[in-house]
Amino acid sequence: MTTFSEWQRGEGSHTASDYAIPEDARDFQGERAGFATRFLASAIDIALVALLMMGIWLGIEILQLIFTPGVEVQAPRAATLVVWGYVFTTFYWTVAWATSGRSLGAWVMGVRVVNRKGERLRFPVSLARAAFSVGFPIGLGWALVSKRNRSVQDVVLRTIVIYDWSLRAPLIIGSKRHS
């Protein structure tokens, strides 16, 4: 049995951060995430970007109605929306992966993107991975046949998507950080 002070200092069998992770998920902590989890995380992110774009469009519509009443406003073309969706998603994933290693979808699904050493992605790698993921989304399908659950983007850029329910950004997988 571990005393509270030992547990707080991380001297017992569990550290304080271990108790923040759901008990059923502890065995998967640090393991490579599978296709379904990654697909759902991406779907959440894409839905978030779509809502953002609809909100921006609605805001523009409202401003035009206020400042130019009586002028008919045309909806943007589908191609324009697709291009802006790609731009927003690329920017969003770049910032998310370069800062914490996870987007909102990744946070909900309990996954994080790290480099092959288990460290946070650097900005250029994060940008390349985001652009690659947006431009070639079918690359995620490779995780279905890969023995190591890696997408084409992971193979090319040497990244890994792991299960990680901890709230802090990783320095290195498995290293203990004392606050």
131: in domain: yes
CA dihedral 119, 120, 123, 126 (to 10 degrees): 100
0.85 surpassed by pTM: no
Euclidean distance between CA atoms 119 and 156, whole angstroms: 17
**At residue 161, does pLDDT exceed 50?**
yes
DSSP per residue over 89-103, as a string? Answer: HHHHHHHHHHHTS--
Mean pLDDT check: name the lowest of 26-35, 43-52, 126-135, 160-169: 160-169
- Token pair 């921006």 is at which residue? 56
Find the Cα–Cα–Cα–Cα dihedral 150, 38, 120, 137, rounded to 10°.
70
The model's confidence at residue 62, banded by pLDDT at 50, 70 and 90, is confident
- The tens digit of pLDDT for each residue in 89-139 reads 999 999 999 999 999 999 999 999 999 988 999 999 999 999 999 999 999
Is position 48 within any domain?
yes
First to last CA, the chain: 23
Q: Is residue 46 part of a domain?
A: yes
CA distance 152 to 150: 7
Can you tell me the distance from the alpha carbon of 59 to that of 115, in angstroms, rounded to the nearest whole number?
A: 38
Segments forming the whole domain that contains residue 158: 28-163
Q: How many domains does the chain have?
A: 1
